[in-house]
Every structure is written in C-alpha cells, then in structure tokens.
Amino acid sequence: MRGGYANFIVHNRKGTLLISTAHIKPKHWGSEPAAFQPSAIHQWLARRRITISLVGFTTLVLFNVFVMQTIPRNPLAITSLGSLAGSGLLWIGLAVRSWSAGTLNKSRELTMVGPYSLVRNPLYVGSFMMMMGFCILCRDWPTMLFVAGPMSYLYWKQVRFEEDKLSRMFPLQWDDYIQSTPRFVPVRLNRAVLGGWSLFEWQRNREHQAVVASLLGVLGIWAWFVLRTST
C-alpha cells in the first residue's frame, strides 16, 4: 500500500455496524527527506536575524573606527550634501517606521491602511533607509555593502516567512491585498493612506526604542566627528 484511507468495521453492543475511516501511513514515509527543511531554515534565520545583524554591524563599525580610523560626517551640518543625504535617509526612515508601527495590529488583523496601503513591508523599508543613512554619515562603505548584501538577504527571508504566515492567517484577504499592494516600492496613492495611526499602537509596538536608539546614534556620530576633527 502506498498510503491512503482504509475502512474498518466495528460491532457495537447493539449489533450495529459502525464504519470508520482511518488514514494509513506507510512505514517507508519516515525515511523520506524532510519536506519542511526550507521552512526550518527560514525560521532559524528569522529567529536569529537580529543577532546576526548586530554582530555583523558592530564588527564592521569597530573595524571602521579603530582600524580604518575613518572620520565620519557631521550629522548636524546643513551645508554638506553627504550629511544631508545621510541624515535625510535616517530621519525619513525613522518616520516611516513610526508611521508603520502606529498602524500595525500584530496578528489580530491584516493591516491594509496607512503605509500598508502603499507597500506590504513598510517597517523593513524604513529600517533599510535608516541603516543606509547611518552608513553614509559614518562614511562606512564596508557596512553599507553588508547591509546591501547579507542583511538584505536575511530580511528577504524574513519577509517571505512572514508573508507565508499571513497568507495562512488571513486567506480571504491576502490574495486581493498582494495583487493591489507591492512589497517594497509604492506605485500609487489611495485614501487608505490617511487612516489607522494610533499612539497606543505606536507605544505598544515599542517604537519609542527606535527613536531613542536613533538619537543616541546621531549623538555618538557627532561626538566621534568632534573627537576626530579636534585632534
């Protein structure tokens, strides 16, 4: 038998025949290759993406500071195109993240308003902009390559994992949503973009941590710039 359904006949006390159906699993099935190995890899990467990102990011930044001894851009300068580009990407990315975090209802409903009416993954878009902004301010090209390469791959795996999960959680809405909303790059505006933001959701999703971290990061870059240019 290759596996399938088999019928069993059972007698109850009254003599009535009860017919039940059971699924039979052949013994050789246990020796087949694991069907969910890709998903297991995706889950492993998803669980550890923050750790992998922090280790890689920190290592490259320390290399840039102590080995390359790079002089960063002044994040407060308004006459430098490089500083304006880096700061602009950083603060716009943070604004996109805050907008997204204040609109997102995690696992309770499929969020399709606010930034989620423009792209399906606005939090990752904002995060990517912030990381590139920091790299420009730090003149850190090795880390920029790390962000554009390995980190982009990790977050791409995370996006695929999350979208697969959402498609199973919200099957009635998902197909229409992905047909009308791109993953990362918006193609059109709509009325839904104006709704859905809540300070309560912003706080519940702990987005204030990103704001504090960004302010400390900019302060650190400024102190680094002052230290390197005053010696």
Residue range 178-196, pLDDT digits in tens: 999 999 999 988 888 888 8
Mean pLDDT within 137-158? 88
Contact 182, 120 (CB under 8 A): yes
Alpha carbon distance 125, 88 (integer Å): 14
Domain coordinates in residue numbering, the chain: 38-229
pLDDT at 42: 64
Q: Which CATH class is domain 38-229?
A: mainly alpha
pLDDT digits (tens, 9 = 90+) for 201-223: 999 999 999 999 999 999 999 99
Q: In this predicted model, what pLDDT tens digit does every residue of 102-124 receive, in sequence order?
A: 999 876 789 999 999 999 999 99
Q: Tokens for 112?
A: 């399709």
Our measurement of the distance from residue 53's CA atom to the centroid of its chain's CA atoms, rounded to an integer in Å, reads: 12
- Tell me if 134 sits within 8 A of 86, measured CB to CB: yes
Q: Which residue has the tokens 């003599």?
A: 15
- Reported in sequence order, the residue ranges of the chain that DSSP labels E, i.e. its strands, are 4-11, 17-24
Classify each residue of 180-219 as buried b or exposed e, where b means 16 or more C-beta atoms within 10 Å of its C-beta. ebeeeeeeeeeeebeebbeeebbeebebeebeeebeebbe
User: Has this prediction a pTM greater than 0.95?
Assistant: no
AA letter at 161: F
Q: Is the pLDDT of residue 68 over 50?
A: yes
Contacts of 146 (CB under 8 A, 6+ apart): 56, 57, 60
pLDDT tens, 3-54? Answer: 444 444 444 444 444 444 444 444 433 333 333 344 576 667 667 767 777 7
